[in-house]
Each structure stands twice: as structure tokens, then as C-alpha cells.
Amino acid sequence: MSTFGSLFRVTTYGESHCASVGAIIDGCPPGLPLTAQDVQVQLSRRRPGQSNLTTPAERLIQQNGITQRDEKDLVHLQSGIEHGVTLGTPIGLLVRNEDQRPKDYSETDLYPRPSHADWTYLEKYGVKASSGGGRSSARETIGRVAAGAIAEKYLKLAYGIEIVAFVSSVGKVQLPSAISPPSQVPAEDEDTVEDALSPEFVELLNTVTREQVDAQMTRCPHAETSERMVKRILRAKEANDSIGGTVTCVIRNVPSGIGEPVFDKLEAKLAHAMLSIPATKAFEIGSGFRGTQVPGSKHNDAFVQRPDGRMGTRTNWSGGVQGGISNGEDVYFRIGFKSPATISQEQETAQYDGTPGTLAARGRHDPCVVPRAVPIVEAMAALVIMDQVLIQNARKTASALLPPITTLPPTMVKNVKPAASEEQKQ
Amino acid sequence: MSTFGSLFRVTTYGESHCASVGAIIDGCPPGLPLTAQDVQVQLSRRRPGQSNLTTPAERLIQQNGITQRDEKDLVHLQSGIEHGVTLGTPIGLLVRNEDQRPKDYSETDLYPRPSHADWTYLEKYGVKASSGGGRSSARETIGRVAAGAIAEKYLKLAYGIEIVAFVSSVGKVQLPSAISPPSQVPAEDEDTVEDALSPEFVELLNTVTREQVDAQMTRCPHAETSERMVKRILRAKEANDSIGGTVTCVIRNVPSGIGEPVFDKLEAKLAHAMLSIPATKAFEIGSGFRGTQVPGSKHNDAFVQRPDGRMGTRTNWSGGVQGGISNGEDVYFRIGFKSPATISQEQETAQYDGTPGTLAARGRHDPCVVPRAVPIVEAMAALVIMDQVLIQNARKTASALLPPITTLPPTMVKNVKPAASEEQKQ
Amino acid sequence: MSTFGSLFRVTTYGESHCASVGAIIDGCPPGLPLTAQDVQVQLSRRRPGQSNLTTPAERLIQQNGITQRDEKDLVHLQSGIEHGVTLGTPIGLLVRNEDQRPKDYSETDLYPRPSHADWTYLEKYGVKASSGGGRSSARETIGRVAAGAIAEKYLKLAYGIEIVAFVSSVGKVQLPSAISPPSQVPAEDEDTVEDALSPEFVELLNTVTREQVDAQMTRCPHAETSERMVKRILRAKEANDSIGGTVTCVIRNVPSGIGEPVFDKLEAKLAHAMLSIPATKAFEIGSGFRGTQVPGSKHNDAFVQRPDGRMGTRTNWSGGVQGGISNGEDVYFRIGFKSPATISQEQETAQYDGTPGTLAARGRHDPCVVPRAVPIVEAMAALVIMDQVLIQNARKTASALLPPITTLPPTMVKNVKPAASEEQKQ
Amino acid sequence: MSTFGSLFRVTTYGESHCASVGAIIDGCPPGLPLTAQDVQVQLSRRRPGQSNLTTPAERLIQQNGITQRDEKDLVHLQSGIEHGVTLGTPIGLLVRNEDQRPKDYSETDLYPRPSHADWTYLEKYGVKASSGGGRSSARETIGRVAAGAIAEKYLKLAYGIEIVAFVSSVGKVQLPSAISPPSQVPAEDEDTVEDALSPEFVELLNTVTREQVDAQMTRCPHAETSERMVKRILRAKEANDSIGGTVTCVIRNVPSGIGEPVFDKLEAKLAHAMLSIPATKAFEIGSGFRGTQVPGSKHNDAFVQRPDGRMGTRTNWSGGVQGGISNGEDVYFRIGFKSPATISQEQETAQYDGTPGTLAARGRHDPCVVPRAVPIVEAMAALVIMDQVLIQNARKTASALLPPITTLPPTMVKNVKPAASEEQKQ
């Protein structure tokens, strides 16, 4: 369905060519300073066209503000806010669909587009939108991004949480530090495995900023790699083809204790959230698939006391999660996006009625969507963390009102201090 | 929390050392023939010890029924069934914890075990179980497997759905067909990419049976690879170490139209379900991460009419899902399990209070859990499909009661036939 | 929270003085013919002013289209519909708040209004809307009414379900047939109790139409009683006071088998839905509170075969529900609405800071809201039935795909016929 | 379905004649001291037989421990607790069904019992339990009562919340103070209405204890009325008939701010919870139906500062709720229970196949269930309050971490103090 979250809950609506797309955000903490601009920033980062890889001539047009598919995407906040402060009531918001162009796609109507959702939507609903992607269009993500921006603002203010996503690969062009070079991969009967993640990549995770990400057209914060990604994308564009990639996201300053075992573990909700983004096919947290090859003796994250007295772990192959619960280390994960299904080549396929034939796509299309996916990934990450922070706070506040536990051995208990004020009791 | 699903809903309880573990399955269709044996089969497949890789002497002991950690795991159905048929009311079930041995672990109580959930559970709840994994123990999965067995029985009877999971890698030992050999990986600027999945692997997905899987000690249905996996596991065992791996699962005969965009897409719910299994770190569907490197022109699944008149796709890189909705092709996905955190080596780490020290684990532990994970993966897959089948049936039945749509162009509509009997109307 | 329903789900937003109020309806069956007019009809029925009891001069003004508080309430459908047919995707809709008049209420800002939600909203959220009722305003019900109109249209088309609500009392003015006259109430030690509901009232339930309801200014379909209600309301108006009342609702042609024990029984969900309407304080189904006084021998609804072969009950004191499940008889229930808290009299009360004082309300206010509540009650009834019909259809379709039960005694089984077409299996 | 609650969530299972009935309680705050005895107390209060109205001979048998239908109902806690303290993980519990007697009812199998759920269960599920009430049996409430006892213990310890329910009427025998005597009911055109609730009843609500309730066989805490109720019940018993009644419940020390508008208002959730109890037909909060007859000027609850500085209301016709949110006053409400459908008289009715005939019930049956319903009402009340307290705490803790609001007028803001300790932030 179109609702995500339990205490912080977003519900979205909207197809690619209807009057508007929008969302209702329910459960936002009251008292949060919030303006349309807070939301607009992320909406603008997800807009098509602006980070698109373009020819110099096109780039010139862009610089003059006339982008190819300028959807504008101005958000209109409807409710839940007065004098710039949230009321705790649902926040309604919408973005008008200005470009409805239903005719653009009409000539190819006899064909379900390969690897698109045309055919499955018709199978599921028995009826489908006449034009474009309908509900499966990337425009649907506008509601998510808007909701995520609100969650992110809260998390930043209340916990100093930072969420930074970036492009880690386009096709076979990878951040060089992301994985060990093939030459270092030992034979399978050797035990001298290297770490699944290189020290350089860990350093990147620890430090990368959103500004560094946006400084590159590809949103890959490593200039040299970004250059190669640009070439790869342009090659796809010139071939009327498309190419996929991966986005990595790091969340810093997540409080420990977040995540709701056994079914709503932090990584499970993150995976759910990420795989609900259009075109995603894969998710891994921490060392991920590569970590499965590292023996426990090298993969375990040993504990160490931090200078500030807090417990931490010496390494972080776990990606900040143990047993489905955050441990206070950075949470990081990677998402795979398939190559866009819309290409400008002819494709041998079949019509809805089974007749074989050739589908020739028209119009301009993004040859690579991962740069635009960055703010969407950040938004979904914020929604997951926000919801689980609220649930965990309900539990901790509840426990804090109970008398201290005195009957258990000390290693079984970490007594929560009683809340300080009467305020908390209500 | 401990509930999964909306219309077919499982809620579980139980720690590693309490009186019992169990589950309530709510929403099971009435009229399903069901016995304890239906459930027991899968519970026995997930039991520790039986598929454990052991020395010949130990194997002898096992054959005589005295396994190392024989938890027996006999299921006791409590409700919801009469005369072998489900009533549609909640099915309560439980498995007694016979082996509670709280002392086994007591000497190491000062240390949170690295990469275990000891520390995060204490952070989250302020109190934790005294022994073993508590709620984070693999015993928790008994409730899932029992519920999944019930869902699977329904899906088999009603739709002929087959769910088969198998071990696809242990450490670096992989099914040879699972990925292209490294030598075939072209340079990143070449466009002659091979398919992300080899034809041999696709053939395996199409045909592998549960019997073939169980024929191998490792549950890898390829004898030669299984042998190498055995060696890899024994090497970990001898080194008092552990090793991870991956499980691949295929679901056949999934009806088209399953999956609930935009947030509860089929792949999103599968990812959620799989990442909620203990020790999982990664999920990919279809061509997954490798597919991100394949251009759209080669990755798109073209449509083709099947001999029986149904529409299908020529290839299935999508893994049976488009736009979050099943397309009738096989659904397949892969899950990464980290190396078990419990090892019998000394580990340099810190106590709960931050004091550095050395933790020396005791007792026997599974050096590799992926063979046991196979039925757990199948169970979670069954739970996801079951729930989404019910939701989609609600929609289709509802639409079938409406008059045919006559005002839309034919490519927008696939009119659902009106239900045949008055029965359907109620 | 602001979401209601599981498979047919409405989420609303909006305060009394923000940009708009609106809703997202998720889970609407695809293929439903739907226009803005379908929704507008019920929205217009709930508008203030039109059914307001007014002086002749005011009535004249109304007839010329210049109503006192003409909120217009034009609905704008945003998504989920194409060419007049629902797509199965979320339906976004909104109604602009044209009359925001934040100053009207400002002079009394120091006082939380007695029996209003001013004080509790501030306690709950720590911040509240500056003007009017904020989220607790009756404007919030616009989203419900819009969603209910959509559900109602489906239920009418697919099942012939009719939902008719009407005003059954205003103050002490009751539909004469609603309860036995006091003189007929026997002493408590007599056993000659009359039925809790008179035959005349049962007849009214069986036959009343929405047209008959709307023919009376009070929406009480009994002209003579309506006249007395008008007088009662005018007396409250002249006294700058207010008066409460009750609304009775009947739902006809509900299929048997609706309702989800044990927690989501049909009457439980109806009660939940009705008590979520502003100003409601009471709910009873069937014979309700009065029925508790009738011995079982007189209160039991005996079974009888209908001429058409279907089973029915001779009486219907149960209100169409047994064990939380509909039995195919009319479902009827009654809701109590308190007297509006906003009155134009001075009230001795206290300011937010505790200072005692006198609050003098300003402006015009509805002296009685029950006439306007009628479409809101109908809407909430439609939402409950719609959601439970979908859930039950999921179950029945699932059972229909199983082999017939042959092992149970015939009184335990009513075999559902297998679905007729392959269509149903997908 | 069989799950109630969002953050504090109970799921139940069990029919009248299966192996056991039980529940899983998920979301219980960790650190709560809890023993089986805490749960057993309320389970024993709901047991049939003990508070049954019996002949002196039967009473003698009871005193010797041989009650008519001694179901024992010993609770077995399975998980979620160690050393007498909750772990925050799900609490599994069960009560064995020792008395399964499937034959007792078998002779009447051809008849669906009038006003029972036999017929509707068969309509809904297509199959039903062979004996007794199946899932619609009162035994189902054991899981609720157990869960409620746990919630109640928490609420008492953390907030000093007291929940006391009592029988307020049996048939026409009412607590004299519950309503104004008929002679005081003025004509409908007079405006000298008395309050809907008498001062004596309000005093009773303010002071009644569970001990006073249990001191009376009927659980009506007014000795003289209880005597008359006993007579009424015995008269029903002698006539092989049954009689209904009402239960009133008061909840004291509810913190202000509880309740989740707009759909999950406190009264809406209470109504939902109460109407899910078997045999309930009506719910009213505060002045309820009678309050609809009182003009706003008399019904409004004016504010007044309490001696301790807290705001309160002079009267409490609202029942402790404004706008769906608790205001700190006592929450009280009344539930109507119909006369039990099982009677030992012959009833003219029809068989499942429509054949008319006479059903002669056998065995002993409770002529009046309201005394036993008292702990069930308390349990459901506790579950509602518990869940909403947790949700509101999540919100308040979230707001407390934000900077104080400085931009709003003071009447719009009640700044929540920042949490005192770092503890709260995690």
C-alpha cells in the first residue's frame, strides 16, 4: 500500500500525469521549526534534468534555467504548521504536475514496455493509467522525499543525525576504494582474506559530506571516479542505451538501541524502505555480500571504550547494527539500481495481445538514474530512523518510570534513570 | 515488533532459555488440511546438529539419535484446527525448550560478545536475558518456520507454488554457475558484458528440488561444490573459527499481480522478511548487484507469448518482479549471511564497563549456519507470498463485482470476469 | 492517528484555518466509475448553513445562495482516477479552506473553551493552532465524508448496500416510535417487558430512504417529530444555548460473514468509527442499552427460512450482528452527540494560567449539529463495511481455491464453491 | 483479527475446546516486576462459577472447592520474563483447556443456536468448531484478561492509575444513583433538566474500590441494589431464562494528553475495545446518551485551578475526554451486555438447512454474565490506556528534544522541558 511507518507515517498519492502528487505526514513531533524551503531543498535535488549528464550545448541551456524536463516541483504545504512550527497534526503537502503531455507516449500503446511496470500494473489492477509510468513513475517519489526532509530536519535538530548518500558505482565504474581490487582476491583455500571494505572506503564513509557529493555531477564524491562515471553515462546516452549503478548511504550519530526485533530489525526496515524505491534490486548493510566470505575471527567487531567513556567497536563491519539494533556506530548500506528500462533503441518484444513486434521508444530519457536517486535514498533512510527512534523513545520513557531493578545480576541490567520532571510522566 | 504480515499474520515469542518458543498464526484460510507433521517437517530441517558438519565419530553419535545439540523441537498445535482442518481462527503452537543450560555461558558474563546482540539488547531494553542469545537466538526462528510451513502448504494446494532455497556459497566457495568466472569480466570500458547470471545457474533455478537440496550435507545441490563447501566449513571448525555464505531461493508458479506498491512492493517485503532473519546482511533479487552493470538494452526482459497463450518474458533478469508486482515468472533472490559471531577463539575486546580484556568462548558452536538457514528462508518467503496473495485476492474479487469498464481504450483495461456464483458476493 | 482502515484506508489532514483539508484514499478497488460529483453530493450534505435552523430572514438569504458560513467545500480530485474510472492507486483529494478568519476568535485567546479541545490539544502537543478548532474542528470530517462517499458508491454497485442515517432525537424530543412510552415500562419485578424497540421503529428502519431524511430540515424523517425538533433547536438558539441529539443509521443488504473477531468485530469497528466523530459520546447497536433489560427468551433472534431460501431471523434485536459477524439482516445502530460546546452565553471558567474569569463567546454557532452529522455517520459506516468486505473476500477467495472438506460432519462445513474462472486464481 | 494495540500489542488464540487458550503480549516495557500471580488474580476473577449466583446447596459445594464449572484457568508464563522482571520481549502465556466435553452439545448439532455465533461463524469461515462456542466462547477472553493484568500492573506502578469496573444494572435493577428517577424527568419543553448523572453516582465513581466491588456477589458495590440484582438473576435462573445488564468502569489518574485524534481518539479506542467483548451491545462515555438531552450551558465542564496548581474541570460530564484526548479527570464509561443467548428453554427456530423445529438446550448456563464481565472490562480498559500512554510518550519525548518554541504567542505553546539526562536521548 501507500503508507510507510507506524508512529511517523507517510502516505503518498499521485501518478505521473494526474493533477498533483502529494503526501500526508502523520506523527511529526510538534514544535519542529519547518518551512517549505526545508522540503524544497531535497525536492530540487531529486528533480530530473539538473544533475543530468548533458552535452555542452544542453548544459548551457540548463545554466540559463531552461532545463530539458524542468518539472519545477514546488511544494505546497497545506496543514499541520503554523507560524513556521509543526502542530503535531498531519502535514498535507502537494506538488502540481505541470507537464502532463499524455500524447508523448501514445503511439506505443499497443506494447507493454519491457522491464517496465505497464504489464504488471494491468495484471494487478485490471486497468492502468493511460500515459507514462502512472503510479510506477519516479514522480511518485516526490512524496517520500518531502516526508524524508521533514524527518531529517527533526533528526538533525534532536540528535545531530547526519544522512549522506552518494553514488558508489555506475556500471562497472566503482569507487576504487569500495572493494579490494581483483588482484588482491586470494584463492578460496587461502585464509589471508583482506577486509571486505578497504580502509579508504571506511574513511570516506566517516567523512563524506552532502556538499562533497553535490560538487560532482554524478554525485560520486571522488572526482576522478566521477569523471569516469560521466564517460560511462555519456557512452550509454550515445548508444541510446542506459546503465545502472549503486548508491551508498551512511547515517551518523544514530543513537544506540534503535530497531525493533524480531521482524522490524533496523536492517530489515532499511531494506524494506530501499527496495521500495523504483528500479532497486539489491541491498546490503555493513560488509554485505562480501562480508560473508570473511571468517568470524576477522569479521567480529571487538568492543572498545571510547575516549568519551562510551562503548564503541574497533571495526564496523556490522554497519552499525547488531541483532537488528543500532550500536551507536555509523549505519551504512548500499543499494543497487538496475539500468533504466526506458531506452531509445528498438526492442523485439510482444504486444499486450501477444503479437510479436518491435517497440521503438521515443523522446529523451535519463540514461542513468543513480545521481537523482541520492536524495530519495536519504529520504527513505530518514523515514526509517525517525519511526524507530519514536518507538524506542516510547519504550525508554516507559521503563524510566519504573522503579530501578535490584534483583538481577549487574550484567543483565542497565538501569535507566527515572525521568527528571513531572512533565515526562504525562 | 514480533508480528509479521497483515492478513496472514504471524506473531512469535520466546527466548533461547525460557519455557517454550511459539507463535500465533492469524488469518489462515479456513478449510486447509493441516497436521502437526506438516509443520514438523520444516522444523526438523532447521534443527541444529542434523545437517551440521561433523567428524565421523560425531556422525556416528548422530545416527544413533544422540546429536550434539538435539533440541528435538516437537511442535504442539494448540488451536485453530479440528479434525485436521483449519477453522480460520488463530493457530497457536509451541515448541518446548528442553535444554535450558543457563550455566554454560555464565563465566563470560562480564563481556558482551563481539558482533553478538548482548550489548545492543542491553542498550535497547535496559535489561537482558541471562543466558545465551535470549530473543536474538536462532531458536526464535522456530515460530517463523512453523508459520511458513502452514503458508507453504496453502500456497502449494491453492496455486501449486513451489519454494526451494539452497546454499549458493560458503565463504568464497560458490556454485560455479552463479557468477561469471573472473576471467570473463571485461574491462569497464568494454561493452561486451556477459549476462549477470550464467545459463547454468538459470537452469538450476528452473529445476532444483528440495530433495536435491537435502541430498547434500551442505544443502548446496551441486555435489562437487558441496564437497568443497564441506572442506571450507571443516577448515573453519578446525581453526575454531566460523564462515558465512549465501542462500538463494526460487519461488515458482507465483501468480502475476502480487505485490503492493508503492511501499509494499514484492521485493521490498521479501527484503524486509529476509533481513529480519538472524545474521543476514544482504539481499538481492533477480540479477541484483551484478545486474546494475548490464546496460538496459541487454537487461530488459522482452515479452513473448507462451505456448499456453499466457504472456511471459524471454529472459528473467528481473527475478519475476516489475514495478514491485509479480509478472508470473519465477521469483528468485539471494541472501547473505555473515560468519557466525560465536567462535572458540580468544578475542581481544572489552567488558560491559569498558575494561579491556580477553574473551574466551566455550562450548561447541556451528561454524556455518547457512545449511540450517535454508528452511528459514523458505518460511519467510512463504509468509510474504501468502500475505500478498490474500491482499491481491481481496482486490480482484472486489473488482470482479463491478460492471465491465467500457469507457477506456482497450490497452488500459483487462476486464476481470464477474464472479460466477452468488457465493463470491458474500 | 489520522488513518482509518486496513485494506480500504483513508488518511486525512487539515485544520480549520489552514490552506486546505483533504484525504488520501488507498485501496479503492480498480474499475469503479467515479466522478467528483459522487463525492460532492455528500460533502454538500455535511456543509454548515444549508440544513441549519434559521430565522425566516436568514432563510431568505440562504435561498439566495448567501449562506451564513458558506464554506463551499468543492472537492478537487487529484489522482487515482482516469476517464472517470478508478485505477486502484491512491485517490488524493482536497477541499480549500476559503474562510480562514483567524481574528474572529482572537479576543478570547486567554481562555481554553470549556468542553472544547483547546486545553487538551495544548496538553497533548505542547502547541496548538491559533484559531478555531484547529484539527478538532468539524472541518476535519470533510476527508471522512469524501472517502465514505467513494466506499458507498462501491458498496452500492457491488452489493446493493444502502446506508441511511437520520436524526432520531434532539434533546428530549424523540422519534415517538424509538422507545416504548414510559407508561409502558413495567416495574422491575415484572416479566412482561415490551420489546426494547417498537414495531413502528423497526418499520422505519426497514423502509426509510435518504430522500425522506433530506425532506425534513432536521433530517428526522418523521414530519411531526421534526417540527418539535425545530422548535427545540430554535429555543436553544434563542437562549444562546445548544442542544445535543442522536443519529440512527441502518445499513441494508450487508452480506453475511462480515466482521473480524475477536478484536475487530463488526460492532467494535463501527463503535470505533462512530466515536471518532467529533462530539460523539455514545454508541449502541441493535436493541442496545434497552435490550439489556430484556430476558434472553424474548431477546434471542430465532432463525427462519426466507421465501428465497436464505436463512434469516424472525426478529432482529441483534442489529444484524452475531458474534461480531454480520448475519445478513439489517445492521442498525444509534450514536449520541453531546450539545455543542460553543455557546453564546457567558461562562464562568478559568484562563490557561488558572486565573478564574468569564468567557464570552462571539459569533454565530450551530445550536445543534445532529442534522449535519447524518452524512458523516453514513461515511464512517461505509468505511467500516468497505474494509471488512474486502478482508472477508480475501478469506473466501482463498478458501474457494482449496479442495472441498470431506472429513467433517456436515453441520461443521459449508463448502465454498471453487471459483469459476482462472481469473480468480491470480 | 486477533491482535489489539500498536505499541503494546496483544494477540490471542484459542477455542472453547482446543488444547489451550493463550496470548502473546508484545511491547511490554522492560523492567516491570511481574509474576504469574499478578496475572492469575484477574484470571480467577473472570472464572465462571465463583461469582455465579447459586442455591445454598450449590454454594456449599463451591465453598468446598467443587464448583460447577471449575475451569481452574492456571496461567503458564512462557517467555519474556527472567527473575521476575520483564525483558521487553514478547510474553507468551497459556491456560490449558481441561474441560473439553465435546459431547455435551452434540445432540443439538442440527440447529444453529439463536443469537449465538454458530451460524455466522459458518457463514464467515465455511467451517466451524464442532462444540460449544468455539472461538466465540467466553474462554477467548482469558488472553485479554491476562494481557490486561500486565498492562494494569505497569500503569499502577508508573502512574498510579486505578481501574475499577462494577455492575451498574441487571435487567431493570439499576444503581439508584445511576440515573435520575423517572419522576424527575421533566417534560421536553421544560428547561429545568437535571444533570444526567446524579451526585451520588459521581461520588461512587470517585471513590469505589475493587474490594468494595468484590464484596458483593453481583459485583455491584451497593449492597441494597446488589440484593435486588441477586433476586433478579435468581428469577431468571428459575425460569430457565437469562438477563443482561451494564458494567460501569472508572479509570483514575489518567495523565492528560492521552488519545490519538482523529481516528484513534481515546473514547473511540475504548468503544472499540469494549464492543469487542462477547455479548456487548452498547457503550457510552461520560454523560453518554442522557447527556445529549442537556443543553451546552449546563453540560460544558468549566475549568478551575486545583489546589495543587493543576488545571481541572468543575464538573466532568465529558468523562475525562475532550476532543478525543484525556484531560486528567476520571475517565468513566458504561457498557451494555445483552442477556445470554444460551437458555434452558425450548426455542422455536430452524435447523441449518432451514427446517423449522424446536431447540431444547441442555446443561447449566450462566443466567447473567455481567459479574464475570467486570475483570474483562478492566482488562480492555488497561490495554487501551497502556497503548495510548506509550504513543503519547513517544511524542512528548520527541518534542522535549527540540529547542523551545519562541515564535508563537504564549497561549499557543506549552513548552515541554528538555529531558534531563543524556539517557533520554538514546
Instruction: Summarize pLDDT for C293-334 with one digit per residue, the tens.
Output: 999 999 999 999 999 999 999 999 999 999 999 999 999 999
Tell me, yes or no, if D415 comes closer than 8 A to chain C by beta carbon: yes
Tell me, yes or no, if A253 comes closer than 8 A to chain D by beta carbon: no
User: B4, B7, B15: which to substitute to probe chain D, counting the most D Cβ within 10 Å?
Assistant: B15
CA nearest neighbour of B159 among C398, C105, D372: C398
Active site residue: D17, D73, D118, D299, which one? D17
pLDDT of residue C140 exceeding 90, the answer is yes
List the single residue in D33, D256, D398 with the smallest CB-CB distance to A29: D398
Detail the DSSP E strand segments found in B175-229. none
Per-residue confidence band for B85, with pLDDT thresholds at 50, 70 and 90: very high
Q: Which residues of A are identified as catalytic?
A: 17, 116, 366
- Name the phi and psi angles at C4, rounded to 5: -130, 130
Q: pLDDT above 70 covers what percent of chain B?
A: 83
Greater confidence (C32 vs A192) lies with: C32
User: B108, B192, B276, B337: which to substitute to probe chain A, counting the most A Cβ within 10 Å?
Assistant: B276
ipTM reported for the complex, 2 dp: 0.93
Contact B399 C31 (CB under 8 A): yes
pLDDT of residue A221 exceeding 50, the answer is yes
Query: Chains meeting D at 3+ CB pairs closer than 8 A?
Result: A, B, C
Tell me, yes or no, if D77 comes closer than 8 A to chain B by beta carbon: yes
Q: pLDDT above 70 covers what percent of chain C?
A: 83
List the single residue in B88, B400, B425 with the smallest CB-CB distance to C395: B88
**Partners of residue D91 on adjacent β-strands:** D25
List the single residue in B85, B395, B405 with the smallest CB-CB distance to C408: B85
Packed helices D370-400 and D266-275: angle between N→C axes, nearest 10 degrees: 150
Cell 578446525 locates to B238
CA distance D187 to D199: 22
Task: Note the pLDDT of residue C99.
Answer: 61
Q: pLDDT above 90 covers what percent of chain C?
A: 72
Tens of pLDDT, residues A305-342: 999 999 999 999 999 999 999 999 999 999 999 999 99
List the single residue in D6, D402, D420 with the smallest CB-CB distance to A31: D402
In Å, what is the CA distance from A206 to each residue of A163, A329, A330? Answer: 11, 10, 8
Active site residue: C99, C116, C264, C365, which one? C116
Chain D, residues 29-58, CB within 8 A of chain C, namely: none
Tell me, yes or no, if C79 comes closer than 8 A to chain D by beta carbon: no
Per-residue confidence band for C180, with pLDDT thresholds at 50, 70 and 90: very low
Pull the grid cell for residue D403. 529547542
Per-residue confidence band for A72, with pLDDT thresholds at 50, 70 and 90: confident
pLDDT of residue C109 exceeding 60, the answer is yes
List the single residue in C31, C389, C390 with the smallest CB-CB distance to B405: C31
Query: Is the preceding peptide bond at B304 cis, omega within 30 degrees of 0?
Result: no
Contact D188 C182 (CB under 8 A): no
With beta carbons under 8 A apart, name residues in chain A contacting C31. Answer: 125-127
Average pLDDT of D46-58?
54
CA distance C334 to C249: 6
Per-residue confidence band for D70, with pLDDT thresholds at 50, 70 and 90: very low
Tell me, yes or no, if D130 comes closer than 8 A to chain B by beta carbon: yes
CA of C179 to nearest chain B CA: how many angstroms apart?
Answer: 33
pLDDT of residue A181 exceeding 70, the answer is no
Cell 542513468 locates to A368
Would you call D17 a catalytic residue per the annotation? yes
> Which residue type occupies A351?
Q
Considering chain D, what is the average pLDDT of its residues? 86
CA nearest neighbour of B3 among A6, A270, A322: A6
Task: Note the pLDDT of residue D99.
Answer: 61
pLDDT of residue D123 exceeding 90, the answer is yes
- C7: closest chain B residue by CA: B391
Average pLDDT of A173-181?
65
Would you call D116 a catalytic residue per the annotation? yes
List the single residue in B159, B257, B394 with the smallest CB-CB distance to C394: B394
CA distance C275 to C284: 11
Average pLDDT of B310-325?
96
pLDDT of residue D363 exceeding 70, the answer is no
Least confident of D108-112, D134-138, D261-265: D108-112
Pull the grid cell for residue A110. 499497443
Task: Note the pLDDT of residue D256.
Answer: 97
Q: C-alpha angle C313/C314/C315, rounded to 5°?
A: 95
Greater confidence (D56 vs C16) lies with: C16
CA distance A9 to A23: 10
Query: Chains meeting B at 3+ CB pairs closer than 8 A?
Result: A, C, D
Task: Note the pLDDT of residue D112.
Answer: 93
Task: Determine if residue C72 is left, alpha or beta; phi over 0 gives left, psi from -120 to 50 gives alpha, anything else beta.
Answer: left
Fold of the CATH domain D3-425: Chorismate synthase, AroC fold (3.60.150)
CATH code for the structural domain at B3-400 = 3.60.150.10
With beta carbons under 8 A apart, name residues in chain C contacting B31. Answer: 399, 402, 405, 415-416
Considering chain A, what is the average pLDDT of its residues? 86
Task: Note the pLDDT of residue B182.
Answer: 41
Contact B264 A270 (CB under 8 A): no
Detail the DSSP E strand segments found in B20-116. 20-26, 75-77, 81-82, 85-86, 91-96
Contact C94 A88 (CB under 8 A): no
Per-residue confidence band for A54, with pLDDT thresholds at 50, 70 and 90: very low
Tell me, yes or no, if D61 comes closer than 8 A to chain B by beta carbon: no
Give me the DSSP letters along D261-279: TTTB-HHHHHHHHHHTSTT
Tell me, yes or no, if C403 comes closer than 8 A to chain D by beta carbon: no
With beta carbons under 8 A apart, name residues in chain D contacting C110. Answer: 411
Average pLDDT of C168-195?
61
pLDDT of residue B422 exceeding 50, the answer is no
Least confident of A24-28, A169-173, C131-135, D315-319: C131-135
SS3 state at B326: strand
CA distance C399 to C406: 14
Per-residue confidence band for B65, with pLDDT thresholds at 50, 70 and 90: very low
**Partners of residue A346 on adjacent β-strands:** A360
pLDDT of residue B51 exceeding 70, the answer is no
Least confident of B154-158, C407-411, D139-143, D222-226: C407-411
Task: Note the pLDDT of residue B381.
Answer: 98
Average pLDDT of C107-130?
89
With beta carbons under 8 A apart, name residues in chain D contacting C267. Answer: 275, 280-281
Task: Note the pLDDT of residue C200.
Answer: 85
Task: Note the pLDDT of residue B362.
Answer: 65
Tell me, yes or no, if B124 comes closer than 8 A to chain D by beta carbon: yes
Least confident of A255-269, A350-364, D213-227: A350-364
Average pLDDT of A271-285?
98
CA nearest neighbour of C325 among D116, D415, B135: D116
CB A142 within 8 A of CB A21: yes
Task: Note the pLDDT of residue A200.
Answer: 85
Task: Note the pLDDT of residue B52.
Answer: 47
Greater confidence (D21 vs D405) lies with: D21
Tell me, yes or no, if C3 comes closer than 8 A to chain D by beta carbon: yes
CA distance C246 to C337: 6
Tell me, yes or no, if D291 comes closer than 8 A to chain C by beta carbon: yes
Average pLDDT of D233-240?
93
Task: Note the pLDDT of residue B132.
Answer: 67
List the single residue in B88, B393, B402 with the smallest CB-CB distance to C31: B402
Per-residue confidence band for B195, with pLDDT thresholds at 50, 70 and 90: low
CA of B16 to nearest chain D CA: how many angstroms apart?
Answer: 9
CA nearest neighbour of A188 among B172, C113, B146: B172
Tens of pLDDT, residues C44-83: 998 875 444 544 444 444 444 434 444 478 999 999 999 8
Contact D14 B92 (CB under 8 A): yes
Per-residue confidence band for C396, with pLDDT thresholds at 50, 70 and 90: very high
Task: Note the pLDDT of residue B161.
Answer: 98
Query: Is the preceding peptide bond at C262 cis, omega within 30 degrees of 0?
Result: yes
Task: Note the pLDDT of residue A157.
Answer: 97
Task: Determine if residue A5 is left, alpha or beta; phi over 0 gives left, psi from -120 to 50 gives alpha, anything else beta.
Answer: left
Considering chain C, what is the average pLDDT of its residues? 87
CA distance C208 to C318: 19
Tell me, yes or no, if A311 comes closer than 8 A to chain D by beta carbon: no
pLDDT of residue D65 exceeding 70, the answer is no
Tens of pLDDT, residues C9-56: 999 999 988 999 999 999 999 999 999 999 999 999 988 754 445 444
> Which residue type occupies D270?
L
Query: Chains meeting A at 3+ CB pairs closer than 8 A?
Result: B, C, D
Tens of pLDDT, residues D284-297: 999 999 999 999 99
CA nearest neighbour of A232 among A242, A222, A247: A242
Tell me, yes or no, if C125 comes closer than 8 A to chain A by beta carbon: yes
CA of A27 to nearest chain C CA: how many angstroms apart?
Answer: 7
Determine how β-strand C303-305 pairs with β-strand C280-285. unpaired
pLDDT of residue A364 exceeding 90, the answer is no
With beta carbons under 8 A apart, name residues in chain A contacting B191. Answer: 235, 239
pLDDT of residue A275 exceeding 50, the answer is yes
CA of B395 to nearest chain C CA: how many angstroms apart?
Answer: 6
List the single residue in A18, A30, A79 with the smallest CB-CB distance to C15: A79
Q: Which of C69-83, C373-387, D53-67 has the highest mean pLDDT?
A: C373-387
Task: Note the pLDDT of residue A61.
Answer: 44
Task: Note the pLDDT of residue D200.
Answer: 85
Detail the DSSP E strand segments found in D288-414. 303-305, 311-313, 321-322, 325-326, 331-337, 346-350, 356-360
CA of B317 to nearest chain D CA: how many angstroms apart?
Answer: 38
CA nearest neighbour of A45 among A224, A165, A128, A137: A165
Task: Note the pLDDT of residue C145.
Answer: 98
With beta carbons under 8 A apart, name residues in chain A contacting B274. Answer: 271
- Give the other-Cβ count within 10 Å of B422's Cβ: 10
pLDDT of residue A425 exceeding 80, the answer is no
List the single residue in A257, A413, A421 with the smallest CB-CB distance to D417: A421
Contact A398 D255 (CB under 8 A): no
CB A341 within 8 A of CB B296: yes
Active site residue: B26, B118, B301, B366, which one? B366
Contact C257 B30 (CB under 8 A): no
Average pLDDT of D149-168?
98
Task: Note the pLDDT of residue B72.
Answer: 76
With beta carbons under 8 A apart, name residues in chain C contacting A9. Answer: 1, 3
CB B160 within 8 A of CB B255: no
Contact B134 D89 (CB under 8 A): yes
